Amino acid sequence: MSLPEKAFPVSWDQFHRDARALSWRLSGTGQSWDTIVCITRGGLVPAAIVARELNIRRIDTVSVASYHDYTSQGDMQILKEISPDIMETEGNGVLIVDDLTDTGKTAAIVRAMLPKGHFGTVYAKPKGRPLVDTFVTEVSQDTWIYFPWDLGFAYQEPITKGHGG
Ligand SMILES: O=P(O)(O)OC[C@H]1O[C@H](OP(=O)(O)OP(=O)(O)O)[C@H](O)[C@@H]1O
Ligand SMILES: [Mg+2]
């Protein structure tokens, strides 16, 4: 897969605001959850914020890795399974959290593990959107979201080059 056309860089401030907005949306559903299953690694950061906002202290992880080479998706690998006691709930009382859904493949795999769980992501692209119950911001399929933990400060070329004067 080539690099998506558009870039959507997200700062820590913006990510915190958006993850808090996800928490508000989740609390607005009127449902409550006693457990979060977060999809590592990207789900770890929003899970910490949502857990704080919704007072959820029981947190488990599932590791699904598929983007092995930056933007190209390969085989889905489950590197860490959900704990057996949480699997037994089939997802009742479980909030599944990830940073984003793109093609929806990761969400589909975890949904199949916990079919009664509620799936929340901060960002969603159109293909993945039907697989999540609650999200905050939709970006187009040809946009790559750059998360703050993947970014650093760097020189920016001016929009118009030349010496001016
Ligand atoms: O909807 P999909 O097309 O399946 O893509 C979404 C998934 O891809 C990214 O994780 P990645 O597999 O890159 O692992 P990471 O969270 O460890 O970065 C992202 O954090 C989602 O979990
Ligand atoms: Mg991920």
pLDDT tens digits along 94-108: 999 999 999 999 999
Cβ–Cβ under 8 Å, residues 54 and 21: no
3-state secondary structure of 57: coil
Closest atom of ligand 1 to CA, residue 63: 17
Structure-token match 């999200």, residue found: 135
Rounded to an integer, the average pLDDT of 4-18 is 95
Q: Distance between CA 145 and CA 113 in Å, rounded?
A: 26
- Ligand 1 center to residue 160 CA distance, Å? 35
pLDDT tens digits along 22-78: 999 999 999 999 999 999 999 999 999 999 999 999 999 999 888 766 667 778 889
pTM over 0.90: yes
Residue 161 exposure: Cα atoms within 13 Å on the Cβ side: 2
> What radius of gyration, in Å, describes the C-alpha atoms of the chain?
17
Cβ–Cβ under 8 Å, residues 128 and 139: no
Query: What domains appear along the chain, each with residue ranges and CATH number?
Result: 18-150 (3.40.50.2020)
The answer on pLDDT for 81 being more than 60 is yes
